[in-house]
Structure 1
Amino acid sequence: MSTKETILSLLKQAPDTVFSGAALAEQLHVSRTAIWKAIRELEKSGYTFEHLASGYRYVPSDILAADELASQDIAKENIVIKEETLSTMMDARQAANAGQTTPALFLAESQTAGHGRFGRPYFSPKGQIYMSLLLEPTQTFAQLPQYTLLAAVAVAKAIDEVTNKTSEIKWVNDIYLDGKKVCGILSEATSDIEAGRVKHVIIGMGLNVSIDPKEFPVAIQTRATSLFKGEQAPVLRNQLIQLIWKNFFSLLDSLPDQSYMDTYRKKSFVLGKQVSFTIQKQSFTGIAQKITNTGELIVQTDQGEKKLSSGEISLTKIE
């Protein structure tokens, strides 16, 4: 490790301890000037330290860090963080092809080619949460859990906890807060045709943590929001990310228990409402009546009952 990486590691391991420049210099066998320069470089990167008469003390900083994200479910060595990337989904795909050990988590401070379902572009300003989880379930498609629904419930529960508000889920993969979209989730799977099993699953999400409402593109200002609307977030991103995946793996471990579906339905943004949608270029309108345990939305239309799967349609109107 470099001098600044070693200093950061030492101070983070003992956040209540004040380290004098002299003690750090002696321990690392460098000059006190080298210690001062390393602290300055870390501060330029976004880390925060108290400068006291007796030395330096680490202050929890909103910088994505593998050691703070690691858990019993995701090992530190399986966490990849980039300053900028085209898409964390693409990073996960490439890693899967290269034989990456799983579960693995890919994050970035900013994305330049992030997208949602049907290839829609995703507004991705710096400093929010962009991440993709790579899994290797080795199951058939019939055995595969409803990962998108599990992830939606995990995120919604985390949002409720950190904001003290009640989030909602717009079928099938969008999380809403105060009537506006705050998070989008995208899941995809690859298969081993010869073995007849799913080889990898990637769950990607973009979560707006704190963005000034005026910073959103004009076209989506009435439809998009963030958790803290440009204000200082009371929770660090590392903590929020850890909470999301803690919720997710807890739900995954509880399967085949379907109680998470009760939460999903309770938080539904569409049940009981009139929705409009298009299937194979034909438009329909009806009342969203229920969501099945496998994630289909049942809509009663004038043309009869329609069962919609996440891959078929995009809701065009909700009233």
Structure 2
Amino acid sequence: MSTKEKLLALVKASPEIYSGEKLAQALEVSRTAVWKAIRELEKAGYRFEHTPSGYRYLPSDVLAANEIAPGLPADLAIEIKPSSESTMKDAKLAFAAGESTPRLLIAETQNAGHGRFGRSFFSPKGQGIYMTLLLAPNKTFGELPQYTLLAAVAVCRAIEALAGEYCEIKWVNDIYLKGKKIVGILSEATSNFESGTITSVSIGMGINFAIPQASFPAELQVKATSLFPDFEPKITRNQLIQKIWEEFFALEAALPDMGYLEEYRKRSFVLGKQVSFTLQKQHYQGIAQAITDEGQLVVATESGPITLHSGEISLERIE
């Protein structure tokens, strides 16, 4: 461990004030080295109270692999970048380069993040969670779990467990809190045509964690919010990331148990409501009746029931 890593571990262990001399003795370095380590940590986003007696560590929300890893699969590789064009693109490049899987790619900000149908995703630095889980299932399409549904339930469970907020799901991949979107999920797969197997799956998430409501673009303020819109988080992003994937891997390990699907249905705020959508350039209206075991949405229209598949349509209106 570097001096700054050792110093950080030491000061995080206790709320007491540490003098420069005490830190230097404990770490067996000079006081100048302590001062430099504090400066480096502050540049990285860690917060310290500077007092006449020394330094006190203050709660800091800096993404850190060692705080995310506990409780997750031992072979999960975790990569954190200060910025990224898109963590989904990072996942594709990692797979093409033969990097190990499972792999979790996280960025402090994205400059080209997107959701379904190429829609851009608002990604302010340090105020959101932008990540993609890369898997290499090597299964046929029919053998694959409903990864988007699993991820949606995992996110809702994690938020409820850590923040005490009940979230709902807008079919198929958006998480809503108090009527506004806080999470977008995107799943993409690549296949081997000759073998008929899915070689990689990327599950991307953009989470509005602690974005002041006024900071959203004008067009998003009425339909999007964040988990902590007052910018006073009760938890850290590391804690939420860890809990989301802990829940996800637990749900995946429990398969073929379909309990997650029943929970997905219970959290839906689409079922039983009138929706409108466009399919193959034709406009439809109807009542959302059911979500199938394959994750499809069944809508009762005047011309009969229509089964919608993920990626085909975008719901335009919910009443």
TM normalised by structure 1 equals 0.93
> How much has 1:214 moved relative to structure 2?
1.1
> How much has 1:17 moved relative to structure 2?
7.4
Query: Residues 245-283 of structure 1, C-alpha deviation per residue, up to 9 Å, x if partnerless?
Result: 111111111110001111100110100001111111011
Structure 2: segments with no counterpart, 5+ residues: none
For the aligned residue pairs, the C-alpha RMSD in angstroms reads 2.0
From the superposition, tell whether residues 213 and 16 of structure 1 become closer, same or farther in structure 2 (CA, over 3 Å).
closer
Distance 1:309 1:50 in 2: 53
* SS of residue paired to 1:84: coil
Determine whether 1:105 maps to 2:104.
Answer: yes
Range moving further from structure 2, 213-222 or 169-178? 213-222
Distance 1:263 1:83 in 2: 35
* SS of residue paired to 1:218: coil
Contact 1:15 1:59 survives alignment (8 Å): no
Distance 1:298 1:77 in 2: 36
Contact 1:69 1:76 survives alignment (8 Å): no
Matches within 5 A, 1:231-270: 231-270=231-270
From the superposition, tell whether residues 76 and 47 of structure 1 become closer, same or farther in structure 2 (CA, over 3 Å).
farther
Distance 1:312 1:164 in 2: 34
> How much has 1:126 moved relative to structure 2?
1.2
What residue in structure 2 maps to residue 213 of structure 1?
A: 213
* SS of residue paired to 1:111: coil
> How much has 1:55 moved relative to structure 2?
5.4
> How much has 1:286 moved relative to structure 2?
0.6
The percent identity for this pair of structures is 60
Q: How many residues align?
A: 318
Determine whether 1:30 maps to 2:34.
Answer: no
Matches within 5 A, 1:177-192: 177-192=177-192
> How much has 1:164 moved relative to structure 2?
2.2
Contact 1:73 1:103 survives alignment (8 Å): no
Contact 1:74 1:104 survives alignment (8 Å): no
From the superposition, tell whether residues 163 and 71 of structure 1 become closer, same or farther in structure 2 (CA, over 3 Å).
closer
> How much has 1:45 moved relative to structure 2?
2.2
What residue in structure 2 maps to residue 170 of structure 1?
A: 170
Distance 2:74 2:225 in 1: 32
Q: Which amino acid aligns with 1:84?
A: S
Distance 1:233 1:285 in 2: 40
> How much has 1:24 moved relative to structure 2?
4.1
Q: Which amino acid aligns with 2:174?
A: D
> How much has 1:219 moved relative to structure 2?
0.9
Distance 1:142 1:76 in 2: 26
Q: Which amino acid aligns with 1:170?
A: K
